[in-house]
Amino acid sequence: MKFLRFIASAFILTLIITIQTLAAPYVTYKLQYDGKTYIYTEEAVYLKVNGEILNNLTMPPVIMNGNTLVPAREVFEKLGARVAWKNKEQEVDILYNNIFVVMHIDKTVAVVAGKTLNMSVAPKIINNKTMIPLRFVSEAVGLEVGWDKANRTATVDEPKPVIAESSSENTTETTTASVDVQETVSQQASAKPLPEATTEAITETTTETTSETAVEDVYDLISTGLKNKTSVTGIHVPLGNSNNFVVSASSALSDVKVYPVKDNKLTIDILNAENMLNQSSYSVNYPSVSSIVVSQYLTTPDMVTRIVMTVDSSAQFDVKFSDDKTSLIISFEQNSISKIGVSSDENGNDIVSVTVSKNPPVNMSRSSDNTKIIADFPYSSLNMAVDVIKAGNFIDTITYSQYSDTSVRVVLNLKNTEYNYKTSTENNVFNITVGENIVEENKTPVVSAPTALNTNDGKTISLPTGGIKLNTYDIEHIDNYTDRKYTLILPGDYSSVMKNGTVNVDNEYLNSYTVETSDGKTKISISEKKIMAYDVTADSSFVYIKPLLPKEKYKNIVVLDAGHGGDAPGTINNGYYEKDITLDIINRLVALFDSDESIKVYATRTSDVNPGFRDRTNLADEVGDIFISVHINSAESTQAKGTEVFHYNGKSTPSGLSSEILANKMQEKLLSYLGTVDRKVKPGDLFVIRETYIPAVLCEIGFLSNPEEAAKLGDGNFRQKAAQAIYDGCKELFEIYPNR
């Protein structure tokens, strides 16, 4: 892990106040920010917190672009919030009533309770003080903000207890923090660069050094600066080629200690955290990590959850918090390939040497015609220019590329199909030796091309059954479409006729397939270039596996999306996580669609992972006819409640089903089944419905911020009704607007 030490450096700036003898007093400040000095002349702004005027502030409030900026620590700690300053990231964090706000200096994007929002003005460091927009932050955490225009006073107060709930017809709550500051000034502040000479009479005073300035970091400590208590609720072990291990908590984390690796053990202590995991150990299939053990290391005087990872001694890693500080991300450095060279041994064999920064498991295979030897390096990046290498006695050329975001492929093009190879690793160099008289270890048998592809269409996989008639209804299908893998399990051992091994198909649909037998069954694993469906038939001689695009096989296809997931929990309120509720509703929906042969279903996630926005829309566009994303709402007011559905106009199926029609049907069904308040169908400029090419909607089922609705959302029966409503709505629409 890369640890940096910071030593605070403070600069002294001048603050000048001149109160003119007018009915409305004006102030003149000399302000320094953005590397310049400005003269600020404006009517004075006063600040009242919980009814108390704040006097003698080292940096008083100022107006910028119609927004009141106030010193972060002095104002919000007065309200009982916790304020933390991260000098390295230029970040200010505020925690109030379990709502976490993350802002960065000079950036208008903030993260509030895990959601990204835009501010109309960015936080600034002015005269060495961190100044933040009062209204945005106050409303984001549920505080009440006011503006007394006559007295030029901004007020912020803790919310008063709610006595009676107003009717939904009279409620105009918003579901996201307001970014518009309503207070305006009679004379807009004029901030201009300080001229070389000024005739104004200015009295200079010296400001104090900011209390936000970071002190020297402790070597093994990373901190949010927030000493609140939390619970460790999940550990996400990376799948595929991902390199991030994610530790999730129920709320913002506090301090984390990371100890140097000793005896291949990486120890991480999460302070002020209770271990709420259901298991204590995790087996890991990752090059740098083999296992994880979690325990409640301490209970007194403070809770400490300890995580011990068994790692490779050369593992390089980084530990950081997620944007909303509710997760700890442990990222392991990927293997870097920096050089590929060719030499010969004493027998004249060609040796291809691949220089690596670490030694991941290399997947070796051959092409179906035996003309290529293929080395795939997972968890790897290419750190060299792409070129074609002319080789030696047995290898014609070598090509290599960044095959995927996290894998590198090296291809050895052979001069003769009879040449064999062997591999070895020494001092961070992976060697592939190619020649005539080499005994190939663990050689993968290659099925001949005629068996691999049916000559009728060039796509169907035809595998011999040895004269045994196979009942296709007995074949088990496993579609791992998010990883582009499809598996068929045949009831019987066909290794004598199907030849266990891997075939590189490499057509427009498929990469390869592998045949292997175990426990009296034959497994056929297909690696796909695209998500595919399959027609499987059999006669007395062969089983035929024909790949089809989903829309070639299925009449109607719906793609479901459970909002958030993994290290993005969504809204958290009343003891519930949005990501858990959306996932449960989607999994119930998948079960309903799976029982209906007239509708095929795909889901962007069926477990606690966090696909990227583009991954979600790509799946929808690749296979779907319609796209439905399920979310749970939240608002600053605990009175907000009800169901709403968003759509983005302009998309429809050939039969006429549009996003708006889909949204209206979803809203109709959800209201009918759930009995919730009608918050209407609305247009929404939201990524997952804007960036799809098919009809798409986003359903906000209810409000976790409302205790009554949170209790309903936590009820399995309520979630089942939500799933049934969406399913029935789709069923009705597909009958009216069939796709094929």
Render pLDDT for 47-101 as a digit per residue (tens, 0 to 9).
Answer: 888 888 888 888 889 888 778 899 988 888 888 888 888 777 788 888 887 678 8
Tell me what percent of the residues of the chain surpass a pLDDT of 90.
26
Least confident segment among 206-210, 490-494, 552-556: 206-210
Buried b (16+ CB within 10 A) or exposed e, 204-237: eeebeebbbbeeebeeeebbbbbeeebbbbbbbe
- Look at residue 382 and give its three-state secondary structure: strand
Q: In this structure, what is the dihedral angle of CA atoms 82, 86, 87, 88, given to the nearest 10 degrees?
A: 180
Between CA 608 and CA 581 the distance in angstroms is 11
633-644 residue pLDDT tens: 998 889 999 999
Residue 447 has what pLDDT? 42
Residue 451: per-residue pLDDT: 43
User: How far, in Å, CA of 237 to CA of 231, rounded?
Assistant: 18
Do the beta carbons of residue 265 and residue 309 sit within 8 Å? Answer: yes
Tokens of 158: 């803790």
Looking at residue 85, what DSSP letter applies?
E
- The pLDDT of residue 626: 94
Nearest-10 crossing angle of helices 716-736, 659-674:
140
Q: Which of 475-479, 581-585, 651-655 has the lowest mean pLDDT?
A: 651-655
Instruction: Provide DSSP, 15-80.
Output: EE----SSSS-EEEEEEEETTEEEEEEEE--EEEETTEE--S-SS--EEETTEEEEEHHHHHTTTT
| Cα(491)–Cα(485) distance, integer angstroms | 20
Q: Which tens digits make up the pLDDT trace of 3-59?
A: 333 333 333 334 444 333 333 477 888 888 888 888 887 888 888 888 888 888 888
Q: What is the CA radius of gyration of the chain?
A: 31
d(CA 204, CA 41): 15
Phi, psi of 422 (to 5 degrees): -145, 160
Domain ranges of the chain: 14-206, 221-332, 346-435, 449-548, 553-736
Q: Which CATH class is domain 221-332?
A: mainly beta
Per-residue pLDDT tens digits for 266-278: 889 999 998 887 6
pLDDT at residue 188 greater than cutoff 70: no
Q: Does the pLDDT at position 240 exceed 60?
A: no
Q: Is residue 434 within a helix (H) or strand (E), and if so which, with residue range?
A: strand 429-435
Residue 195 has pLDDT above 70, yes or no: no
| Residue 504 confidence class, pLDDT cut points 50, 70, 90 | confident
- How far apart are alpha carbons 549 and 528 in whole angstroms? 11
- Helices and strands per DSSP (H, E), number in the chain: 11, 55
Band (pLDDT 50/70/90 cuts) for residue 581 is very high
Which pLDDT band holds residue 446 (cuts at 50, 70, 90)? Answer: very low
3-class DSSP state of 621: helix
| In 410-539, alpha helices (H) | 449-452, 495-498
Rounded CA separation 68/78 (Å): 17
Pairing between β-strand 153-157 and β-strand 46-49 as defined by DSSP bridges: parallel
Give residue-wise pLDDT tens across range 110-123.
Answer: 888 767 778 888 99
Class of residue 663 by CB neighbours under 10 A (exposed 0-12, middle 13-18, buried 19+): buried
Average pLDDT, the chain: 80
Same fold, 346-435 and 553-736: no
Q: Report pLDDT for 89.
A: 79
Pairwise CA distance, residues 271 & 511, whole Å: 47
The third-level CATH classification (topology) of the domain covering 553-736 is Aminopeptidase (3.40.630)
- Omega within 30 of 0 (cis) for the link into 301: yes
What DSSP state is assigned to residue 625?
Answer: S
Q: Is the pLDDT of residue 737 over 50?
A: yes
Closest by Cα among 459, 447, 444, 547 to 497:
447
For residues 177-196, give the mean pLDDT.
Answer: 30
pLDDT band at 218 (very low <50, low <70, confident <90, very high): very low
The pLDDT confidence band at residue 144, using thresholds 50, 70 and 90, is confident
Token couple for 644 = 């709403």
In angstroms, rounded to a whole number, what is the distance separating the alpha carbons of residues 187 and 199?
21
Q: Which residues contact 208 (CB under 8 A, 6 or more apart)?
A: 58
Q: How far apart are CA 454 and CA 545, in angstroms?
A: 9
Q: Give the closest residue to 570 by CA, choosing from 236, 114, 117.
A: 114
Please say whether the beta carbons of 326 and 248 come within 8 A. yes
Residues with Cβ within 8 Å of residue 125, at least 6 apart in sequence: 33, 105, 131, 210
pLDDT for position 239: 58
Q: What is the rounded distance in angstroms from the CA atom of residue 521 to the CA atom of residue 156?
A: 70
Class of domain 346-435: mainly beta
Q: Which residues pair with 53 in a beta bridge?
A: 48
| pLDDT at residue 681 in the model | 94
Q: Give the separation between CA 489 and CA 525, rounded to whole angstroms.
A: 9
Q: Which residues of 627-656 are buried (b: 16+ CB within 10 A; e: fewer)?
A: bbbbbbbbbbbbbbbbbbbbbbeebbbeee
Q: Which of 463, 471, 526 is nearest to 495 (CA)?
A: 463
What pLDDT was estimated at residue 444? 44
> What is the C-alpha end-to-end distance of the chain, expressed in Å?
55
pLDDT value at 448 more than 70: no
Q: What is the 3 state secondary structure string of 231-255?
A: EEEEEECCCCCCCEEEEEECCCCCE
At residue 175, what is the residue type? T
The tens digit of pLDDT for each residue in 598-622 reads: 999 999 999 999 988 888 988 998 9
User: pLDDT band at residue 219, thresholds of 50, 70 and 90?
Assistant: very low
Measured distance CA(734)–CA(599) in Å, rounded? 9
pLDDT of amino acid 710:
93
More confident residue, 369 or 129: 129
**Which pLDDT does position 441 carry in this prediction?**
54
| Separation CA 265–CA 312 (nearest Å) | 9
Q: At a CB cut-off of 8 Å and minimum separation 6, what does 740 contact?
A: 551, 554, 555, 556
Fold of 14-206: Copper Amine Oxidase; Chain A, domain 1 (3.30.457)
Q: How far apart are the C-alpha atoms of 61 and 63, rounded to whole Å?
A: 7
Strands 14-16 and 99-104: unpaired
406 has a pLDDT exceeding 90: no
**pLDDT of 215 higher than 60:** no
The mean pLDDT value for 669-688 works out to: 93
Of 198, 194, 177, 184, nearest to 148 by C-alpha is 184
Calpha distance 651→692 (Å, rounded): 9
Q: Per-residue pLDDT tens for 682-707?
A: 988 888 998 888 999 999 999 999 99
Tell me which of 228 and 8 has the higher pLDDT. Answer: 228
Contact present, 188 and 81 (Cβ < 8 Å): no
Nearest to 703 by CA among 695, 693, 711: 711
Name the band, by pLDDT with cuts 50, 70 and 90, for residue 507: confident
- CA–CA distances in Å: residue 489 to residues 338, 482, 518, 590: 40, 19, 10, 22
Instruction: State CA 250 to chain mean position distance.
Output: 17
Sign of the C-alpha dihedral computed for residues 582, 588, 589 and 591 taken in this order: positive
